[in-house]
Structure 1
Amino acid sequence: MKLGFSPLTAGLSYPKSFDLAAQLGLFLEITYDQHEMDPRLPGARELAEMGRAAGVGFTLHLPFVDWNIASLVPPMQRLSLERTQRAILFGAEIGAECGVLHTGLVPLRLPEAVAQAHRLLNSTLEKLELAIPVALENLGLFQTDLLETPAELLALLEAHPRYGFCLDVGHAQIQQGPSGPQTYQRLLGHRLIHLHLHDNHGHQDEHLPCGMGTVDWAWVREALGGFAGTATLEVTGGEAGVRQSVALLLGKNLD
């Protein structure tokens, strides 16, 4: 397993993130929305060069802010598709090993609205050109999330074999309870290419450092024993939060 962390979630600048990643042998998960919002951040070419200089690789979180590829409003849906495609090309330029994609929202929970949102999501997944591997992430945190169950995400992945699965263990625990990560792993483990790792107490998306909540990290370590893909720490707490999480997952003191 290759392990990395999200600079945005950790609250670290790129210089500090590259230094920490190089020191610990981690990659960085870049948040594409952050680059759209802040023109001061490096472009794809500069970011790729920073990675080469530091010996640090990347994964990419595709857009999710003010974004909805299942939107019932055509201009919003088209813009979300365009942003996602640009982000995938950004990921290819920085050499990202994979991109993580959310599966859309439908605030209007009427049967026809939900059915139309599913049609739009499926259409978008068909249209996207995948210059990097893309993993669909489990959500189900809020009533507005289009997909509400592990079975729905399984059906979507079976209908779209080009895509992999990103298991977010924190989301799974909130949605399904303490055994949520195991449920997703059992149903979708054959499509697993990436993970998001962070902790919570089972009620809200806290993004705590690993070991600060109630996620079963012993099970996670066992499940990752033979995993050859990538896993990103989406943890708060700055450098200390990253170090604590790496130490718990790898079973060694990094101080």
Structure 2
Amino acid sequence: MKDQIYVATFSENAIDVIRENGFNIELNDLCISENLDPEKVRDTMEEMKREITASGADKAIIHGPFTEIIPASIDHRAVKLGLTRLNEAHAVAEKLGIKKMVVHSGHMPLLYFKEWHKEKSHYFWKEFMKDKPADFIIYIENVFEEEPLMIKEIIEDLDDPRIQLCLDVGHANAVTCEDFDIHDWIRILGPMIGHLHLHNNNGKEDLHGPLDVGTMDMRAVLSSIKTYCRPDVTMTIESRTCASSAEWMTSTF
């Protein structure tokens, strides 16, 4: 069980919690893309190595940069910027020997129509993955999607086992339309989910709260995950303060 659980390093006392519970680590150092700038990347990598060593984690996942990753951007230079940053993140992953990376979908619902986003996402992720090794996996994460069908179609159209889903249950809970609840998301997306982000909220704001505080019944969420997702699915605790969530997870999962 512990082999499937990760903790995000942005969370308070994450390194201690990982070490004390025998969890794995999701590294957030590359979320802010400027940490990949030439004058910063060496220090960024050293910090990531330090976090892995200090945590004692056996396995690591990198969360890639999410600032200005917008596949549907009309400006081709903006699209190229997103690909450049993701390729820089992959280069760091290769040097650290990490084969898995979470990436944001980049959907901007008030700016781009869904059909346009789907079309451009197909090009964007194909382009990014065209030269990546067979054992490198990305998990595309929902952020502002209000329903699960669009991202499902994107993954199906890409038809690449290296491109899977990261279902962020907190994001879904905060923005989903009334036609779907979190269990619908898990049921509809289940077989293509390789990784999950777990945190709770009030159903309106992306609070990244403790697992047992919010409008989601996380015991029921875990039950749905066990029912609809693959047995080897992994998950990251993404609560801003992770100690109580780790304790809850250990006693529940």
Q: How many residues align?
A: 235
Q: How far apart, CA to CA, are the structure 1 residues paired with 2:141 and 2:104? A: 6
Task: Identify the residue that residue 128 of structure 2 maps to in structure 1.
Answer: 128
In structure 2, list runs of 5 or more residues that go unmatched: none
Q: In the TM superposition, what is the alpha-carbon distance from 1:65 to its structure 2 partner?
A: 1.5
CA spacing shift, 1:64–1:40, aligned 2, 3 Å:
closer
Letter in 1 for 2:61: T
Contact 1:67–1:80 (CA<8 Å) still a contact in 2? Answer: yes
In 2, the alpha carbon distance for the partners of 1:21 and 1:110 equals 39
CA deviation after TM superposition for structure 1 residue 37, in Å: 3.3
Give the equivalent residue in structure 1 for 2:216: 215
Aligned to 1:139: 143
Measured after TM superposition, the shift of residue 108 of structure 1 is 6.0
1:209, CA displacement in angstroms? Answer: 1.1
1:187/1:49 Cα in 2 relative to 1: closer, same or farther (>3 Å)? Answer: same
Quote the residue 2:96 is aligned against.
94
| 1:26 corresponds to 2:23 | yes
Please give the secondary structure, in 2, of the residue aligned with 1:200.
coil
| Cα deviation 1:219-250 (Å, max 9, x = unaligned) | 1232344731221111113xxxx121112222
Contact 1:178 1:216 in 2 (8 A): no
**Distance (Å, rounded) in 1 between the aligned partners of 2:179 and 2:238:** 19
Match of 1:168 in 2: 168
Q: Distance in 1 between matches of 2:211 and 2:86?
A: 30
CA distance in 2, matches of 1:27, 1:231: 10
Matches within 5 A, 1:1-255: 1=1, 2-8=4-10, 10-12=11-13, 17-31=14-28, 32-34=30-32, 36-37=34-35, 39=40, 42-44=43-45, 47-48=48-49, 51=52, 54-56=55-57, 57-106=59-108, 109=111, 115-129=115-129, 130-131=132-133, 132-140=136-144, 147-162=145-160, 163-176=163-176, 180-225=181-226, 227-237=231-241, 242-251=242-251
Q: How far does residue 71 in structure 1 lie from its aligned partner after superposition? A: 1.4
Which deviates further from its counterpart, 148-157 or 53-62?
A: 53-62
Q: Secondary structure at the match of 1:232?
A: strand
Instruction: Give the match for residue 144 of structure 1.
Output: none
Q: How many angstroms apart in 2 are the aligned matches of 1:121 and 1:87? A: 19
Q: CA RMSD in A?
A: 2.8
CA change 1:90–1:80 in 2 (3 A) is same
In 1, Cα distance between equivalents of 2:216 and 2:146: 20
User: Percent identity over the alignment?
Assistant: 24
8 Å contact kept, 1:45–1:94: no
Contact 2:169 2:199 in 1 (8 A): yes
* Paired residues of 2:103 and 2:139 also in contact (CA < 8 A): yes
Q: Is 1:173–1:179's contact at 8 Å kept on the other side of the alignment? A: no
- Between the aligned partners of 1:179 and 1:118, the Cα distance in structure 2 is 20
Tell me: CA distance 1:65–1:35, structure 2 relative to 1, closer, same or farther (3 Å): closer
Provide the C-alpha distance between the structure 1 equivalents of 2:106 and 2:194, rounded to a whole number of angstroms. 20
Task: Give the TM-score of the pair, scaled to structure 1.
Answer: 0.80
- Residue 40 of structure 1: how far off its partner (Å): 8.3
Question: What are structure 1's unaligned runs of at least 5 residues?
Answer: 141-146
Contact persistence 2:139–2:194 (CA under 8 A): yes
